[in-house]
Amino acid sequence: MEALRVFLGEMKQKGIARGNLLGLLNVLVGRRVEKAGGALISAGCSWRRLAGYLKLVRWDKQAVRELGIDPAMLHPRDRVRYWFQAMSQTALDSEEANQAGDRLAAVLAKAGYVVGPGPRVPAS
């Protein structure tokens, strides 16, 4: 999935997802992302695969502070494990995460991407 690596690199370089890590994780784990022309970026990604891509593009480790996580509490040397632990401590399927994903989807639409709808949390 070279397209996902390129996509994350662009998100990092342009700062598109800065301040909305929860939305980025929600979108990449649970939604379909395409370029406006229809080229598939991702049809959803496992936590482990996404953690590997975040390591590959050297996503800022301090970004986990946005999720309310202290970076010192995550694995310091293995970056894949670091990101996996961060995702495991975050409710990526919560209504808050879906709303953050929707906000990011609107920003991505302006940047030429199409993001599918997120899973909806059933009302309790």
> Using one digit for the tens of pLDDT, what is the confidence trace for 35-57?
988 899 999 999 999 999 999 99
Rounded Cα–Cα distance for residues 84 and 78 (Å): 10
pLDDT(122) > 60: no
Beta bridge partners of 19: none
Stronger pLDDT, 70 or 36, i.e. the higher one: 70
Cβ atoms of 44 and 38 within 8 Å: the answer is no
Mean pLDDT calculated for residue range 90-119: 91
Q: Where are the domains of the chain?
A: 2-115
Cβ atoms of 21 and 69 within 8 Å: the answer is no
Rounded Cα–Cα distance for residues 44 and 4 (Å): 10
**Tokens 């040397």 label which residue?**
77
pLDDT(78) > 80: yes
Q: Is 44 helix (H, G, I), strand (E, B) or coil?
A: coil
Look up the pTM and report it: 0.90
Instruction: Tell me the chain's radius of gyration from C-alpha atoms.
Output: 14
Rounded Cα–Cα distance for residues 4 and 90 (Å): 21
| Neighbour tally for 53: CB within 10 Å | 20
Mean pLDDT calculated for residue range 95-119: 91
Q: Is 106 helix (H, G, I), strand (E, B) or coil?
A: helix
